[in-house]
Structure formats: C-alpha cells, structure tokens
Amino acid sequence: MTATANLLVDVDRLRPGMFIQLDLGWMEHPFPRSRFRLADDQQIDALRELGLRRVKVRADLSDPRAFDVPAEAATEAPHAADTTDTADAAHAIDAAAPTAAAVAAVEVAQAALTLAVRPAADAAVLRRERLRAQHESLARSERLHAQASRAWQGITRDVLQHPTLARDTATGLASAMVTQLCEDDSTTIRMLSEAAGTTSSQHAINVTVLSLMLARSLGLDEAQLHSVALGALLHDIGKLLLPDHLRHLDSDSSALAGREQREHVSQGLRLGMSMGLDAATLQVIGQHHELRDGSGLPQGLRGDEIARPARIVTLVNLYDRLCNPRHKGVPLRTPHEAQALLYAQRRNQLDTEVLTAFVKLLGVYPPGSVVQLSDERMAMVVSVHPMHPLRPSVLVYEPRVAPDDALLLHLVQETDLSVRRSLHPQHLPRAMLDYLSPRERVSYYFAHGLEPLPAQPVAA
C-alpha cells in the first residue's frame, strides 16, 4: 500500500466533488459519515457552521473537476516549490487554490517535509515538534476511544426499552470506526495510556478495533467491514439478559462457562432481532463461540459453516479474553503470551487463514508487550504498523527522561535495532516497571500520524 495524498484546504475553497475527511468524533458533526464526497454547497455551509477553517481532502478520491478553477485564480497561487523554507512552503500551498498544479506541489512539499535532512535545525526544537505530534496522536486516540465507550454505554442503557435507538447508536458507532480505520493506509493499532470506560465497553471496543484491522488485512470490502464492526460491537449484547450468577462467574469452570456462552448467544440473537439488525450482524452474534473443529457453541458448526466475519470475531474475542480475563482468579496473559497460546493450543479450532493473518498483523510482539531490544535496553511496545509488524514503535526505559517527555522509538526507522525477546512485567525491576507502566488491562484504538513511513522499504 502507498500513503494517500491528503491536502489541507480552506473551507472557503472547498468545492462539490471533493472527498473530505473530518477529524471529528462521529457525534461532533451532522453528517452520516466522517469521510465522504461533498455533494453540494449546503454541505460546505454546514462545515463553516462547525467553525472549521481547514478540512482534509483526499485528492485521489475526489472528482478531478472539483479542482478546476478560473485561470486568473490559478495564477494567484504562490510558487511554493521555489521557496527555501519548507514550513513557509507548506503554509503557502495550504492557502493556495487547490488546482491540479497545487495538488502536485503539496505532494512534493509533504515528501520534502518528511524526507529532507535538516542538519542546521535546532535539535531541541525538532524534538519538541515530534513530542507534540506524538502527544496529539495519543490524545486523539484516547478522545475517540472515550466517545466510543460513552456510545457503548448508551447502547446498553437503551437496548431493552428502546431497541431501535440502540440500533441507530450502534450503527453510527460502527460506521465511525470503519471511517477511522479507512482514513489512510497507515492506520496503526495503538495501546492507550489508561483503560477507559467499563470492562464491558473496553472489551467490545478492543474486539471491534482488532477485528476491523484484521478484516481489512484479509481484504474484506467496506460493506463487509461494516458487518464486522457492528457484529463485533454487539457480540456480547445478550449478557445483559443473563441472571447474575452467570453474568458474574467466580471461576472459569467449563460447565458454567458453557451454559453462559449458550444463553448469552441465544439472548443476543433475541435482542438483535428486536433491534432490527441485518442477517450478517446476527450471524456474528450467533456464531462468535463456534469453532472450526465443531467443538464450539451453541450449534457445533464446523469450518465454512461459520461465516467469515464470525471467524474473525471469534479469534479476536479469545485473544482479548486472554489479555483481559473476565472471570475472577484467571491469570492475565501478556499480549505476547496470549498470541502464543492461541497458536500453540487453539490453532486447530480457529480458521487457519484468519489466525495466520492475525499473527502477521500484530507481529510477534503485540502492543502492550514488554521487550528487550538488541542493544539490551528495556521497552514496551505501544504501536504496531500492519506493514511492518516485526518493527513496532516502543517506549524505551530512559531513567534520565521523564516518561511523559520520552519520544517513541520507531524501529521501522532504526535499521540496526530490533526486538530480542519478550519479557513478563513481573521480571522487571521496580524502577523499570513504574516507568514503562505496563497495563493490567490492555486497551487498543486506532492511531494516525504516530508512526512515520520509512524513506526506503524495511524488511518486516
């Protein structure tokens, strides 16, 4: 995949036919989606009313005719490529009318900003810029995660008495998460700094984020991604109707766990039908505990009898339950351990293609793994790029730098550095443990602009 061409265009220069991406939460704007092609001037007026000054435009998805402007307007565009100051060049291009020439100039300027060597630049200023971008990326992921958590809590609050309202909320949230995934080719999986929301909302969001990333890596189209997202969000909705002794198990006994699985699937289908969910979503709810070898519940389906979206959600659900167990007394597994256990103990029960793609997607060291680098330093994996799963972004233990001021180390750029091995957090000295702060419960969300793409391809 190649990086997409994103332009920042003044709202006053937007035209129908331009494909825009709104960097807003799904409840912060009036449009059905955050990523769409402008149809008329009324939609542009609505963007002005939101107080936006500039909007991200995807040139590759826009109607080329939307960039046509009168010749006299085109001549007013500054010659950004002639200036020696790259920051001024980017500003000049952003302010210019979005002509076809300006589109090309923006791509050149953006490449220069990414790849140019700035030997004379002040290292401290550069570091502050990188740290600010890093904090902004994390803050956006945490903000969107919090919005998703609030929406999930609204779904669980409304589903029994107002199932249609709950369906609309769930559909809106699923659509927003698909849009966030598809914003660009370099969407990454990011571990959040703190667990947010309730245990049930955290699980639902984790499963949805990872299922969507996995589904896209398997080549599912956008319509199928929506089915995966909605099914993943609602796969456990039936637990709301379980009796307390099944909702709050004190152990992972096979008898009780089996009964709990059968009943919450049955109740989930009942609620799903009352919400008016489509057949593809109901399949995910009804089949997310079925296993390839026929040992799953409730129907004992085998192989291709299980819908592909359900096979995806089944695997991710098992993975997240290993990292974030629901039952008391069940040991927490590190992300590295959870993935290894799935492969070693459950691979005959899981779809082979889906499991292989999952291991490739997260790499050997998923976000949340504590690792030792090849130069002996200790670090925690915070993000994995799907194009480079063996070269994650890590937070390195640097006792002379405060954790909040530590820059992430992107191994995709460090060709002489790699991960040597995974460690269990309990083996770390207290100082390292406090610094890296591995989470007892792991929360994931999408991130953008966190991991820079390399100038040259790096072997994964």
Per-residue confidence band for 459, with pLDDT thresholds at 50, 70 and 90: very low
Could you state, in order of their start, the residue ranges of all structural domains in the chain? 6-114, 134-362, 370-439
Mean pLDDT confidence for 424-441: 85
Least confident window among 9-13, 69-73, 130-134: 69-73
SS3 234: helix
The 10s digit of each residue's pLDDT in 360-402 is: 999 889 999 999 999 999 999 999 888 888 899 999 999 999 9
Higher pLDDT, 244 or 76: 244
Cα–Cα distance list, 349 to 332, 352, 365 (Å): 22, 9, 22
Cα distance between residue 149 and residue 59, in whole Å: 32
The 10s digit of each residue's pLDDT in 308-336 is: 999 999 999 999 999 988 766 667 788 99
Say whether pLDDT at 74 is over 50: no
Average model confidence (pLDDT) across the chain? 82
- List residues bridging with 58 in a β-sheet: 6, 19
Higher pLDDT, 42 or 33: 42
Mean pLDDT confidence for 49-64: 86
Domain 134-362 indexed as CATH 1.10.3210.10: yes
Say whether pLDDT at 47 is over 70: yes
Q: What is residue 86's predicted lDDT score, i.e. its pLDDT?
A: 43
Place of tokens 């200790």: 378
pTM: 0.76
Mean pLDDT confidence for 49-57: 86
Say whether pLDDT at 83 is over 60: no
Decide if 277 contacts 167 (C-beta within 8 A): yes
- List residues bridging with 244 in a β-sheet: none
* Segment (H or E) for 347: none
